[in-house]
Copies of this chain bind each other. A is one copy, B any other.
Amino acid sequence: MTVHKKSSLLDRAFRNLRGVWGKIARTYEDFSEVDLSPDLSGGDRARLIGQMRACLEARGGEVSARSRAAALGQAYLALNDTGHKVFLCVLAEEFDVDHTRVDRAVAGLQEAASKSERELAETELKSALQAPRVTLLTQFNALPEGVKFLVDLRAELISLLGDVPELKGLESDLKTLLTSWFDVGFLDLRQITWNAPAQLLEKLIAYEAVHEIQSWDDLKNRLASDRRCFAFFHPRMPDEPLIFVWVALVRGMADNVQVLLDARAPQEDAEAADTAVFYSISNAQTGLRGIPIGSFLIKRVVDRLTGELNGLKTFATLSPVPGFRAWLDKILTEEGAEQIDAEKGVGRSKAAGVDYPLAAIRRLLARPNWFEDDKASDPLRGPLLRLCARYLIEERRAQGTTLDSVAHFHLRNGARLERLNWLADRSERGITQSAGIMINYVYELDKIDAFHEAYTGRGEVTTSREVDNLLKA
């Protein structure tokens, strides 16, 4: 199942540009569609700079400048990978902040004698610190699907940053622009049902990042009457979900995702459900990375469901622990693991009445399909749950946030770490990343603020007594 984004976007861009800009666009079509070689070789780099400058100076007026910027955007879509890199580097380097102007403005600021002179100098300094490329980026909004173009552009920049670090400033400018345009106040929360366009549903299949959707039947099952899917949309990208969440309406907090997704299970009565389980959240747009809309999504959905279904008392996730197995392997294989073990108090199995030193864990985990073998998985259950609790709560990054990214996301949102579920995800990914463990984080609306403050302010992870006991064991 593939969604051919780039090429279809290009198609539509070429087709629609006339529609939007009409005659004005036609004037500029020649130079953009004809002139540039796919890799911007030869004199094309210089020609491109010239065209960008013309846009910036708004020669012929702002309307024409927009139209030409749109033509440049089109031209970009027709370039190959090399061309893309050249284009972006031109934006990054030739239209960067003018440092001389900044220095002049700083001097002006320091000479300011009065309050009003100071204000003028600050304004000039602020303006000098704004790279001219921001104007160009803004002008690309004139493309028929300009917002999507810019989001995709940032996705491309992010993927290039490793190789071409000098694009960082451009990427950062684009992030600032998109942060303003994707302010949560502009986003629409929409429920997605089996009545949604196939074109949109197909994207859910393509973008689902946590529990792969196997088929259209699987998708239909996830949209049954006891399930919900919600997504944020931007008014200028009406057919593109930005981020989406899947919810199961159940009785009691779900503890196994395969059971939840079983197509043969009978549908429950949503009206009778007491728990909404958020079992997957996927960002659909790489180009919006770092722009915080996920936390709004969960809470808006909680509010929506509360209004719709009176029976719902608990709002919980069923989440993976994506970093657990990697961390565990590091622990298990580090030189002197047993010592580390001793220091950290990990595997104090005696206290739990069993004796499983790390070596034994290592051995059991090495068995093929250990999770399907009771003789391996039963003894692992206790130690791994305790290790996982420790991983989630005690392992922190330098700045004090939890090492596990999913845990960090929910704790930062004000959730409570409620329960660890053993062998709750037996999919390949579930085993490989989370050793099959899944977590219920619980959202209690009237405690979200307090928990958020506890975590972000004092670094405290709020847990249930059950999880506490795991830690103490």
Q: Which residues of A contact B (CB under 8 A)?
A: 1, 21-24, 27, 59-64, 66, 97, 99, 102, 106, 109-110, 118-119, 122-123, 125-126, 129-130, 138, 141-143, 146-147, 169, 172, 177, 180-181, 183-186, 194-199, 201-202, 216-217, 220, 235-236, 239, 292, 295-296, 299, 302-304, 306-307, 412-414, 445-446, 448-450, 452-453, 456
Contacts and interface: CB of A to CB of B under 8 A. Distances in A.
B129 A102 contact: no
A233 to B, nearest CB: 11
Given A62-B296, A99-B122, A180-B181, 20 more contacts: A21-B303, A22-B303, A22-B306, A23-B445, A24-B448, A60-B452, A61-B413, A61-B414, A61-B449, A63-B299, A63-B413, A99-B118, A106-B109, A138-B183, A141-B184, A180-B180, A185-B236, A186-B235, A194-B197, A235-B235
A308 to B, nearest CB: 11
10 contacts: A23-B445, A24-B448, A60-B453, A61-B295, A62-B292, A63-B295, A126-B126, A177-B180, A180-B180, A202-B220
B303 A23 contact: yes
Contacts of A60: 414, 448-450, 452-453
Q: Is the interface of A mostly helix, strand, loop or mixed?
A: helix
Contacts of A1: 217
A236 B186 contact: yes
A448 B64 contact: yes
A204 B198 CA distance: 13
Contact of A185 (B63, B146, B196, B302): B146
Nearest to A200: B195
Nearest to A297: B63
A129 B122 contact: yes
A217 B202 CA distance: 10
A446 B62 contact: no
